Structure 1
Amino acid sequence: MKAIDCATKLNKENIEGLKASGVQVIGRYLGPESSWKAMNRSEASSILSAGLSLFSIWETNPVRHAYFTGAQGEKDAKSAALFASGIGQPAATPIYFTVDYDAAAHEMDSIIDYFRRIKSVIGKYKTGAYGSFSVVEALARSGAADYYYQTYAWSSGKLSRRAHIYQHDNGRALAGITVDYDRILDPSSTWNRSAAKRAAIPLIEKPPEKSDSDTQAAIVPYPGLIHLGSRGKDVMRIQRVVRVTADGMFGPITERAVRSYQKHHGLEADGIVGPKTWNVMF
């Protein structure tokens, strides 16, 4: 299957252009909406609605040996899982964490420890690894990851038999944007609209934008202030995002989870879902 990955935030025109060029799968980055390269829920929905499949990538600054520690793995896993859930990525699908440099043999133990920690805390998602032939082989032997996304870079022309996705070219122009070319070797390494519909957090189509400046970017219209004692389907939506039992009752457990979510996203941690918190969530 023909695939690309890119750091460009894609709109419907970009997506249709890529599809017309024969692309069947798109790899995009997870992260906060303020990130220059991260997709949001609306973009993910547009890609899937076009009949394309997705794979998600988590990357901050994994370009040197010192980055790869167990503590960093735990931090990355929790952050990536949160944002994956936020865009509606189905459970049991991989998030690809990157080793974006020419890792030496003596550095593999640290890289393996990093991925083992990810695997131990990532929860409902599978652990994917991006890197060179040597990185993929070392991680596959150790069992520290579930899926492998190999780059041709630093690989001396070798392709691991363990690879599920193979990146075979970088920095090419296609449909008006810069992309890397990938080949999907195993479709289970990606996810599509059918899988998203079966997910615990279904994708919701974006309605017409509202005029309120605090909520115009939200995919689900802002229903008004939600706080301790609130009930209903909007409470359930919030509970799914903050990963507590979705019973529709905004109690102390949900309030604590909302505070934690707000703190993680740089919002006022008051445990109340106002327009700013809602906009970040949806």
Structure 2
Amino acid sequence: MTSGIDCAMPLTAKSAQALAAHGYRFAARYLVPAGYDWKRLTRAEAEAITAAGMQIVSVFETAARRSAGGALAGHADGALACREAHTVGQPAGSAIYFAVDYDAGPEQYDEIEAYLRAAAAEVPDYRIGVYGSYAVVEQMAKRKVCSHFWQTHAWSRGRKSPFANIHQYKTNVSVDGIAMDLNQSFGQEGWWNTKAAASDNRLDKADADALVRILQATWAAAKTQTDKDEIHRLANVVRRVSGQPEVKP
């Protein structure tokens, strides 16, 4: 279990180092477009967080109920998130969480699913995560919409999902004058740092081909089209990081 924070306030080299000294090992920050500069992650901040020894969790949120906009909103937000991720140097294969920052009920689940699937279509280099309540995490996990799950205690009514990779367990606290929320993570967070991005090591072609063969065998045994699409996407990630062209479905 790893301790971390999320905050809207951009971190400086000094504040990142102070948080690391308190034992926090990751910081969740916002991929958002121009116009949201008050909370927008920049490359310089990402480097400061990395230099302090912390990992970065990327989250996209412009409005609390944005996911209720369904596929149309998802396509727009996915494209924006992808552009911001490239701008800050987020490496391929890490995750972008999309926020469902309200008490969504069953009547919104189809819209949220459509939003997330549309966003995923716009970020082929990245894994997709969702931030939301227990019910949202449970529903999106069962629908196999995402590969990463960040649960907030808000609207969760005391329940914690076993699917959660990150759990936001306390909100609205202040540490060294920084307003933040506190989190714990349990593995497979999809986080990243600028050292990994800067190294840009390519996977050996022979190793990549071996991994693709394994994925192709898994694809053949997959029972749903959603699983097949995800396996195909992963195979293209392997091809891409080994310098090979992607293959269309």
Q: Report the TM range for the smaller structure's normalisation.
A: 0.7 to 0.9
Residue 168 of structure 1 deviates from its aligned partner by 0.3
2:47, 2:172 → 1: CA distance? 25
Kept in 2, the 8 Å contact 1:91–1:199? The answer is no
Instruction: Tell me, in whole angstroms, the C-alpha distance in 1 between the residues paired with 2:178 and 2:49.
Output: 15
Q: 1:120 to 1:150 in 2, by over 3 A?
A: same
Matched with 1:257 is none
Please give the alpha-carbon distance, in whole angstroms, between the structure 1 residues aligned to 2:66 and 2:16: 33
Q: For the residues of structure 1 that align with 2:71 and 2:66, how far apart are their CA atoms? A: 15
Q: Distance in 1 between matches of 2:174 and 2:180?
A: 6
Match of 1:25 in 2: 26
The answer as to whether partners of 1:172 and 1:180 remain within 8 angstroms in 2 is yes
Identify the structure with the greater helix proportion. Answer: 2
Structure 2 unmatched runs, 5+? 202-249
Indicate the residue corresponding to 1:63 in structure 2: 65
The percent identity for this pair of structures is 35
Q: What SS does the corresponding residue of 2:47 show, helix, strand or coil?
A: helix
Name the TM-score, length of structure 1 as normaliser. 0.67
Amino acid at match of 2:41: M
Q: Which residue of 2 aligns with 1:147?
A: 148
TM-aligned CA distance change 1:199 to 1:165, over 3 Å: farther
Inter-CA distance 64–53: structure 2 relative to 1 (3 Å threshold): closer
The answer to whether the 8 A contact 1:63-1:101 is kept is yes
- Provide closer, same or farther for how the CA distance between residues 33 and 17 of structure 1 changes in structure 2, counting only shifts above 3 A: farther
Residues 172-183 of structure 1: matches in 2 within 5 Å? 172-183=173-184
Highest CA radius of gyration, 1 or 2? 1
Secondary structure of the residue aligned to 2:41 is coil
Q: Distance in 1 between matches of 2:102 and 2:57?
A: 21
Q: Which residue type is aligned with residue 140 of structure 1?
A: A
Distance in 1, Cα, partners of 2:188 & 2:45: 21
Match for residue 117 of structure 1?
A: 118
AA at the equivalent of 1:68: G
> Is the counterpart of residue 184 in structure 1 residue 188 in structure 2?
no
Task: Give the counterpart of 1:54 among 56, 76, 88.
Answer: 56
1:88-103 residue pairs with structure 2 within 5 A? 88-103=89-104
| TM-score scaled by length of structure 2 | 0.76
Any unmatched runs of 5+ in structure 1? 201-282
CA contact (8 A) 2:148 2:188 kept: no
| Other structure's SS at 1:68 match | helix
Q: Distance in 1 between matches of 2:66 and 2:52?
A: 37
Q: 1:62 to 1:141 in 2, by over 3 A?
A: same
C-alpha contact 1:57 1:96 (8 A) present in aligned 2: yes
